[in-house]
Amino acid sequence: MTPPLRDYQQTALQALLGGAKYLGLEQGLGKTRILIEFARIKNARRIIVFCPASVRLAWEVEVPKWWPNAPRVVLVDKPTDLALQEGFFIISYDRMSRGEAFLDAILVAPKFDMAFCDEAHALKGSPSKTRRTKAIYFGARKNIERMIAASGTPAPNHAGELYTAFRALAPGKISYADKSIMSQTAFEDAFCKVDYKWFGGRQHRVITGSQNIEQLRPKLKGFLLRMRKKDVLPELPPLDFTTVPIEPSLKGVDQEIIDAFDDILLPDMSDDEVLKTLAATGEQAARLRSALGLAKVGPAAEYLVDFLEESRTKIVVWGVHHVVIDTLVEKLAAFNPVKIDGRSSQLDRRFAIDSFLNKSSCRVFVGNIVAAGTGLTLIGPRCECSDAFFVESSYTPGDNLQAAARIHRLGQKDGVLARVFTARRTIDDRIQSIISRKSKELAELFS
């Protein structure tokens, strides 16, 4: 039996049932769970989910977890997948950006009961300039009974980024008395600070911020529900662990090492027996973790880029092997990462900690669980951070708890969520689910 919704999640569900079109819950508050529950209550049988490629697998796991008798989940890889009579159809924004094939398939398929646009801030661009926005909001929408947007940061930069969602999902909210709809330029002039600057030999219209927010709030009422962690903190567990499935990249990875554990970790083993077996196999288990780390680091980095582009928060990322840590630093370079591992000098450590705590441009701390998992505090007056990610984890749950506790410390204002990446459809799914669950139990025991 699935646990009931938390009180704030129930509030969000009631808002959707009452007609809200945009779920603006901060990361970690359970947007996906709420949307699935909404579909279940409405007895929807054809649901399409538009989302970044990096979170497709999360939907594949979450749907049966929260709705055991849900229509089957279909990861849409070709247009014909959309013709099935029932299903939770999960399709990436990238596919909607590539030509007309997927849009045409949506339009000729049986009508969809509802659609969810996850990480909907990705649809903020002008329809005339952004193919995915036009295809989803103003194309696919024609064959969808009800469309709901969801994002932890509905307008990452300024209020003008809400225009497209208003225009597509609730145009009446931005209509004049004569029923005509505000243009994007008029909306930006009303609710954004607009400047004109010269570069490239000509004058450009530049939005530098938001304005008249109090006049915008009435338009948001009944359309967009906003909740932040600090608003519902008393209901959140102080430190939680969860798994995030990703598609492993097995190119250059010794698949035999991974496959061998299908015969070592037997189906009838208990969780404790699995962990004891990993400890007993020693060097072989270490090679397994190394192979899985290599398989996960690329897809995990893609997921983290999407996460960082959506939010404005800082994150802590944990690994074990040098190659994994170095790859993360390289692939997250746009967010000015720092790292601490066994190669770091004392001077390197001080620089990394000071940069992460005090420089707003430094948004990522990458740490080795052994070298940086204890003795550090990675939150402070100028460093709000409540999200930890494990690309690689320790087979000892207490080590992971210690690492996550670098941001679950005195002064933390938010509930901390530690996400453990799992290599989908490999033995890693089982191992990391056990480790995540055991780490969570320790957090509940000692927090």
Both 196 and 256 in one domain: the answer is no
Residue 208 lies in a domain: yes
Both 177 and 260 in one domain: the answer is no
Number of domains within the chain: 2
Last residue of a domain, one of 232, 248, 265: 232
Q: Per-residue confidence at 446, pLDDT binned at 50, 70, 90?
A: low
Is there a contact between 62 and 29 (Cβ–Cβ < 8 Å)? Answer: no
Rounded percentage of the chain residues whose pLDDT exceeds 90: 66
Both 94 and 224 in one domain: the answer is yes
- Round to whole Å and give the CA distance between 325 and 362: 16
Q: Show the tokens assigned to 339.
A: 């790292």
Judge whether residue 237 has pLDDT over 60: no
Is there a contact between 306 and 280 (Cβ–Cβ < 8 Å)? Answer: no
Residue 274 lies in a domain: yes
Residue 335 lies in a domain: yes
Both 81 and 136 in one domain: the answer is yes
Query: Which tens digit of pLDDT belongs to each residue from 287-341?
Result: 999 999 999 999 999 999 999 998 889 999 999 999 999 999 999 999 999 999 9
Q: Per-residue confidence at 141, pLDDT binned at 50, 70, 90?
A: very high
User: pLDDT: is 402 or 367 the higher one?
Assistant: 367
Residue 2 lies in a domain: no
Both 248 and 350 in one domain: the answer is yes
CATH number, position 159: 3.40.50.10810
Both 431 and 309 in one domain: the answer is yes
DSSP H stretches of helix in 207-321: 213-220, 255-264, 271-281, 283-310
Q: Helix 283-310 and helix 255-264: axis angle, to 10°?
A: 110
Residue 297: CA atoms inside 13 Å, Cβ hemisphere, count?
26
Both 210 and 269 in one domain: the answer is no
Query: How confident is the model at residue 252, as a pLDDT?
Result: 82
Model's pTM, two decimal places? 0.77
Residue 378 lies in a domain: yes
Last residue of a domain, one of 202, 232, 262: 232
Among 15-29, 194-208, 368-382, the range scoring the smallest mean pLDDT is 194-208
Both 221 and 285 in one domain: the answer is no
Both 61 and 197 in one domain: the answer is yes
Burial of 194 (0-12, 13-18, 19+ CB in 10 A): middle
Judge whether residue 409 has pLDDT over 90: no
Both 261 and 197 in one domain: the answer is no
Which sign does the torsion angle of CA 55, 319, 366, 435 carry?
A: positive
What residues make up the domain containing 46? 7-232
Query: How confident is the model at residue 440, as a pLDDT?
Result: 87
Last residue of a domain, one of 200, 232, 264: 232
Both 159 and 261 in one domain: the answer is no
Residue 381 lies in a domain: yes
Query: Which tens digit of pLDDT belongs to each residue from 271-295?
Result: 889 988 998 898 999 999 999 999 9
Residue 265 lies in a domain: yes
Residue-averaged pLDDT of the chain = 91
Residue 1 lies in a domain: no
CATH number, position 442: 3.40.50.300
Nearest Cα to 210, choosing from 194, 226, 228? Answer: 194
Is there a contact between 150 and 25 (Cβ–Cβ < 8 Å)? Answer: yes
Both 376 and 325 in one domain: the answer is yes
